[in-house]
Amino acid sequence: MKVLLTVIAITPPYLFLYNNIFRKSHEFYAKKHGYDFRVIENMLDYTVNHATAFSFQKILVCSQEWSGQYDYIVCIDADILINPDSPAIHQCVEFGDKIGIVDEKQQPELELREKYDGTGADYYKNSGFYVNTRMELNTGVMVFQPRLHGKFLRYIFDKYINGCITTKLGYHYEQSVVGYQLIVNNMYKIIPGKFNALWGLSKDIMGESKVPMEKFFKDNYFIHFAGNVDWFSVPNILHKFIPNF
């Protein structure tokens, strides 16, 4: 199997932060498992040249001139720290013809999470989508098979990209659009939450005293520091647990 690990890091300031905080863990993981590695620093499609459209670029990684050479393309957000002991994500489940993704409503557990911010159906309804689900699919980590998914993902991009201009949802617009389409088309395969463990949610819901960051790092594979939460702590984790990293 030929696998690519890719990251979207657009604009020089964001790329600078990525290179200095998270990139080394991605390069190490890719090398460990024999993956190719690519950082996408520019828009893949300039239909909407707007910050809200940056995250939409991730669903175009299967329709580039280089995409077809890969059996799997793993696209992860740039604010994810990878535990060096993490297993190969492309072997974590039997994907069939589906796109691998994490259901974040299971973090820290479903009932507790629904008390915190409602159901998955509530999340998608807030974006104008009506679907009977308790899931909320987090697009921070997705496992694609470009030969199967390129056209489907391009359809999503073309259908919804102009909404980036007027949305008030920020990056949640892209996540809700992609998640909704995956659900209604039954194109998702849930992968273990350890591959997209949301640190900010755990900290807010459980409290850091119950789930210390260092334990959270050791217990998970891909630790997602979404919303710039505690980015300043990442170097400390690296130096403590990976002295020669």
pLDDT-flagged residues of the chain (< 50): none
Domain count, the chain: 1
Residue 239: per-residue pLDDT: 82
- The CATH number of whichever domain residue 107 belongs to comes to 3.90.550.10
The pLDDT, as a whole number, for residue 15 is 97
Domain range spanning residue 185?
Answer: 3-241
Q: So what's the pLDDT on residue 241?
A: 78
Determine how β-strand 36-40 pairs with β-strand 72-76.
unpaired
In the prediction, which pLDDT does 245 show?
A: 67
pTM: 0.97
